[in-house]
Structure 1
């Protein structure tokens, strides 16, 4: 059996760092002629794959999704099988549990790869639960080293990202909604990083948007306390409906989500704010 690893939108900076120690080879494109089935891992919607995703749909081959994001309505129509656990803090946790279920012992290098993914998605275990630590402990027994995973993921912010964060803070608009503080901002790049920085500054919810070549990107972030108290899930309650409204796609977790779409950026920020306010009124 031949397996090809594909990253249609390219490899991120942090992923390139990981691939220095994990012997995996990714390609950006693939001849789909002889493909029998397709696994989408940590990918909640086919639109995240760009043009490659459109080619997958035309192929009409079985699609299996392994993910921990909220299930997207459009994805339900195309997938043959779902392996989704929204309570899992990372897709790597789901993969580890599959090894356990089928009583397969992964190689040490595989255990380390899963530990790196677990560490990254949980922000160095700050977004964890009992199941997260059980998976981490199991991976340690297989030879994985959490300290090496943490060290590998320590990459200093580049100058462009630091500038984007500072500009986001400079342009920030703050709204008080009851006991909650909502901050919105606009930057041309690094929207997710900027949103995280705004949360670190003290906001309960951050909405940061940007526009490039006619496409809109909006990153949503919230504190764990905001989610626990309000029950609002950024991916399910904001990103998915807003993605549809913007003729694009939205997905994500309870406290971290993203939207890709088209239209007017200021209107997109306004829609995001209005929807959040309506959700808070309903809680």
Structure 2
């Protein structure tokens, strides 16, 4: 769900090799700090917008913003450039570079942005208890704390190597009327099972990390696949974090897509400066480096 568009026009701003922070503005609760500098033998212009939600009266914080930034040169030093952008928590800085037609020590720019605040639909509260009631199809009881989950051994064994082993004749738990599952929260475990039960609860950006953690622990590869599909096609998680998730949980298709999303040196710098970069494996870093080499 979206709301009223936010628009702003900067007017002419002078920039040079020595400028940095140049302007700040706040429109409908969204603050924007603008930095610009001429670099690289007076041909390249580095532009940076840092957005911060400070709030407005009677307004709710948007979940994300979509729109564009347009940059023009009043003196014709470079062509009009339009950049599609999306802002969300953890991704509120936009870095861009423009190549000038002429060498120059200073110039003027005009930028304008139009951003539409978006609000996620209200998520329905899931009643996990209804999914795990006693029934003719259920032949086992899992116990987490004081909560009991009635489940099908065959169904869980089909989806999970962990439960396939747990319900085998080699484990004493197979003979128990009630099987305790330790060191896990009921809500997290129920969320995991509900993601592949009949009438499944689909993942969203708030649940993907927990689902990946749980699917690895309980060896349910189908849940990892469901989450990977969401992250590839529907997620608004910043690319830097998605690369780490893809690497950490061995989602090859997602990792390939995220590396391809690195479309500039500036995007590569954002990744390198992110807290997720240090946690990447050497193989993932090598993929990123190969991608960066395409821009050099």
Which bin holds the TM-score, normalised by the shorter protein? Answer: under 0.3
Structure index of larger Rg: 2
Structure with more relative contact order (C-alpha pairs < 8 Å, separation 6 or more): 2
TM-score normalised to the size of structure 2?
0.23
Structure (1 or 2) with the greater strand fraction: 2
TM-score normalised to the size of structure 1?
0.23
Structure (1 or 2) with the greater helix fraction: 1
